[in-house]
Structure 1
Amino acid sequence: MNALGILILALLVTRSLISSIADYLNLKALRHQLPDQFTGWYDPAQYARSQAYLRANTHLGWGVEIFDLAVLLLFWFGGGFAWLDGWVSGLVLSPVPSGLIYIGVLVLLKGLLTLPFGLYATFGIEARFGFNKTTWRIYLADKLKALLLGIVIGGPLLAAVLFFFNHAGDRAWCYAWGFTVGVMLLMQYIAPTWIMPLFNRFKPLPDGPLRDAITAYANSIGFALDNIFVMDGSKRSTKANAFFSGFGRYRRIVLFDTLVDKHTVEELVAVLAHEMGHFKRHHIVKMLLIGTAQAGLMFFVLSRFISYPGLFAAFYVPEVSVHAGLVFFGLLYAPMDMVLSIAVNGLSRRHEFEADRFAMQTAREGGRALAAALKKLTVDNLSNLQPHPFYVFLNYSHPPVLQRIEALAGL
């Protein structure tokens, strides 16, 4: 193994260790005493269940982390990358089809190897704690649909990247970046109307007090709104949520049916006021621009490594190729991406506070109603009330719920 291989190995192991340490600290931060803000919301037995839920998911996460790293190292040092590259080369295809097969085989193998963990998470942990409503038929159908979407959408995107880096020379990274950003923007339009309905049913919110209240609030802040839908989230889980998707006339508000069933009209309006706050404070555009910049940085760095012989020698592959270079660069770039995600998550947490403030200032009883909604969601989803600060720093895109409630109380 050369020096670059040693560096990649050290970075991958370090990333796994940091993630595991954060998980360990998060478990050690658990306290038996219920925070005062949740007195009357959590009973002792349910609070204990929330902590057991966290432990179960953390232990599963450790298992996945160890398994993934072990399989990668076995494949790496067992010459798997070189063997697969030799097999693909023997097919005597042009660079783009060869690359699609090479990367497709790796993705398929990873999906099959990690499938048991996904099954256990859904039909083991989620079922044990009363969340899972997914049947085997729905689960398998979801996997098949996701696979087909990966082929239909991911295949052409990967083919374009392979083509550019095989044929476009020094400007390949610019073309790949532009094409990828174009796909990202296109997905903002086609996902709400074409992709999400493949997995769930979306019914217009019927006329009544809730629709009237949402429409009146949207009008009061000058937010054009026509599409309000209820999604049948209950067919997979008892957990509740709400989200926005799309842009322009393709923009829609989506409420999980589980959310509508468990919250008052004022609480639902406050939740949507928070989501509208993201639009009014331009958070969506800012995060899209940051994602665009991240993609550009990744493709630029990729252009400096994709044909570097030392990178291929690190993985015992004798021949330089674009498809193998993409895979090896992904392993090299992963720790850097982790650092970038920490910065993006920090900005996202600040955005969440700003959206909470917007809801409090613009919705009727926004602060009280949003705090009540956050408490209900936390209890119903068995969320961790007191995560360790290092775990939050590393993983959270939203502030811990206690910080959000305290901020609402102090506004």
Structure 2
Amino acid sequence: MAIDIPFSEQTIFLSVIVFLWIVYLWESYLSHRQMKLFKSTEKVPREVEQIMDQTTFSKARLYQIDKATFGFYHGLFSQIENSVILWYGGLPFVWYYSGKLLAGYGFDSTHEIKQSMIFILFCSIFNMIINIPWDLYRTFVIEERHNFNKQTLGFYAKDQIKKFALTIVIILPITAALVWIIKAGGDYFFIYAWVFVFVISLLLVTIYADYIAPLFDKFTALPEGELRQKIEDLAASINFPLYKLFVVEGSKRSTHSNAYFYGFFKNKRIVLFDTLLKDYVSKDEREEKEKKIDEPAKEETGETDNNKDEESTTKEKKSIGCDNEEVLAVLAHELGHWKLSHNLKNLFISQANVLLTFIVFATLHNNKKIFMSFGFMNEMPTIIGLIIILQFIFSPYNEVFSFLMTALSRRFEFQADAFAKSVKQAAYLKSALIKLHKDNLGFPIADSLYSAFYFSHPPLLERLKAMDKLD
């Protein structure tokens, strides 16, 4: 049975439910437009013929159809799940049993911070249980079917356990501190809460790559050689304070490739995925190869054929990725984001948005009608207020903000491409984008309305045309 709330508060509750479904139907319509494009475009379009052959195009098309189909069912399930949780009072139910568990250890309802931590723990466990089947299907069916997944089930299980444990270790103290700040901060708690979130976000960015990411992937220094020297020269030419240069063994979990940089002030690090580097051989692979060279040949046992098969597999593995000049061009694009202060601009905008949301929360967090509309008749817990106001009441603003940030991100991508062109890397960047698009089975064309709402990076053809116009 649905939660029983007064009629005047039903207006708030029903408005939230209706808006969530309007957003879902709009997103489903956009996805339908993109799926229609996938299904109707079976042959390589004329404008794509020069950058993608029919075989690769067909593989990309089938991959994107599988992903879109999965996304439809996952999205429908999530929408129904969220609606059911709200309609049948899932939030007050979990909050009540959090308090009941707390009472079993001798604590009453005045210990709101402890109850908030238990509430977050219950929600985290529930979300993990609900999402794991979907993630398993995506990883071991869709990604496996299209030869992207490299994880074993055991590797995946250890990954999930570590992620969950790390999430709990981080989120519970943050929850406790944030609730305490809001309750003890007085009339200006929103300023203290914003400063706290800002400091925590900077701290997490600082420690992520040095202490958190190595828990999941192996990072090694890029070996001395031509590529390293060229990267260091490029960084020096634009005064980028390069501190360290790493390669991460992403190939142990997927063949998708990437590159990024992080760090503050004069401690910038660049990280390259090993799948991005066409000729990269890890230290473990080199040692294994040297060990096999030292072993005597045993043609009679059939080991020669096995070695040939292994060499063929290695060549196939290394056929993906970019050569040194293309990797350099990709990094020129990434460094363009730094040179043009895109990261600082995004940081400023995101923090201004966080401050605004806390100001709105400060205005509404004592409004009893809002809590009653979601089934909280006698309590107004701080953590529940944050969820209701920032996630549901604020949802129309969140949708608009997300759309504007997506548009800004695309603008920044065009500017970073233009920067790469200004340092004489345009030709190599074009070939790298084409190659990475093929390696990752990206679909080269997109519905204009769909891409406007979802693509933080412009479609491939738009990026290539924009760089051509700069000529």
Amino acid at match of 1:383: G
Counterpart of 1:48 in structure 2 is: 58
State percent identity of aligned pairs: 33
Moved more, 23-32 or 367-376: 23-32
Distance 1:137 1:247 in 2: 36
Structure 2 residue 83 is matched with structure 1 residue 73? yes
Which of 200, 222, 225 lines up with 2:242 in the alignment?
Answer: 225
Q: 2:256 aligns with which of 239, 248, 255?
A: 239
Deviation for aligned residue 1:317: 2.0
- Specify the alignment match of 1:358 in structure 2: 419
Q: 1: distance between equivalents of 2:423 and 2:439?
A: 26
* 1:375 counterpart letter in structure 2: I
8 Å CA contact 2:121–2:168 kept in 1: the answer is no
How far residue 258 of structure 1 moved from its aligned partner, in angstroms, is 0.8
CA–CA distance in structure 2, aligned partners of residues 267 and 46 of structure 1: 20
Alignment of 1:13-28 (within 5 A): 13-28=21-36
Q: Could you report, residue by residue, the CA deviation over 1:34-60 in whole angstroms, capped at 9, with x for unpaired residues?
A: 244543543323212211211211121
Superposed CA offset, 1:252-280 (max 9, x none): 11111111122111111100001111111
TM-score (norm 2): 0.83
Q: Which has the higher contact order (CA 8 A, sep 6+)?
A: 1
Which has more radius of gyration?
2
CA positional deviation for 1:381: 0.6
Deviations 1:181-239 (CA, angstroms, capped at 9, x unpaired)? 01111122111211111111111111111111111222222223231111101001111
Cross-structure match for 1:287: 346
> Could you tell me whether the CA contact under 8 Å between 1:15 and 1:335 is conserved in 2?
no
Corresponding residue to 1:388 among 447, 459, 465: 447
1:259 equivalent among 262, 265, 276: 276
**Is residue 375 from structure 1 mapped to residue 434 from structure 2 by the alignment?**
yes
3-state SS of the aligned residue for 2:261? strand
Structure-2 change in CA distance of 1:198 and 1:265 (3 Å):
same
Deviates more, 1:189-198 or 1:24-33: 24-33
Distance 1:42 1:170, change over 3 A: same
RMSD: 1.6
The residue aligned with 2:360 is 301
Give runs of aligned pairs for residues 174-189 of structure 1, distance below 5 A: 174-189=191-206
**Structure 2 segments unaligned to the other structure (5+ residues):** 279-320
Is 1:88 the counterpart of 2:93? The answer is: no
Pairwise CA distance, 1:158: 1.5
1:307–1:321: 8 Å Cα contact kept in structure 2? Answer: no
Aligned partners of 1:403, 1:100: CA distance in 2, in Å?
47
Matched, 1:59 2:59: no
The 1-side partners of 2:68 and 2:222 are apart by: 37
Maintained 8 Å contact 2:257/2:275: yes
Q: Deviations over 1:81-137 (max 9, x none)?
A: 222222233322511111111122123212211211111010110000110001112
Question: Among 381, 384, 397, which residue is 1:324 paired with?
Answer: 384
C-alpha contact 1:50 1:383 (8 A) present in aligned 2: yes
Give TM-score, length-normalised by structure 1: 0.95
Deviations 1:350-396 (A, max 9, x none): 11111111111114xx1110000000111111112111111112111
1:118 pairs with one of 128, 135, 140: 135
1:193 pairs, out of 193, 210, 229, with 210
Aligned to 1:99: 116
AA aligned opposite 2:461: L
Partner Cα distance (1:304, 1:367) in 2: 50
Change (3 A) 1:9 1:269: same
Q: 1:82 to 1:223 in 2, by over 3 A?
A: closer
Q: CA deviation at 1:153?
A: 1.9
Which runs of 5 or more residues in structure 1 are unaligned?
none
Q: Is the 8 A contact 1:8 1:331 kept in 2?
A: yes
* Residue 249 of structure 1: how far off its partner (Å): 4.1
Structure 1 equivalent of residue 402 of structure 2: 341
Partner of 2:232: 215
CA-to-aligned-CA distance 1:267-314 (integer Å, 9 cap, x gap): 111000011111110111101111111111111112223332222222
User: For the Cα contact (< 8 Å) 1:210–1:265, is it kept in 2?
Assistant: yes
- In structure 1, what is the equivalent of residue 457 of structure 2? 398
Match for residue 156 of structure 2 among 136, 139, 142: 139
Q: Which moved more, 1:93-102 or 1:244-253?
A: 244-253
Distance 2:263 2:215 in 1: 16
Contact 2:151–2:254 (Cα < 8 Å) also in 1:
yes
Question: Does the CA-based 8 Å contact 1:29-1:388 persist in structure 2?
Answer: yes
Q: Provide, for residues 139-183 of structure 1, a one-character-per-residue CA deviation record: whole Å limited to 9, x for no partner.
A: 122212222221222222211221122222322221111100011
Distance in 2 of aligned mates of 1:110 and 1:188: 24
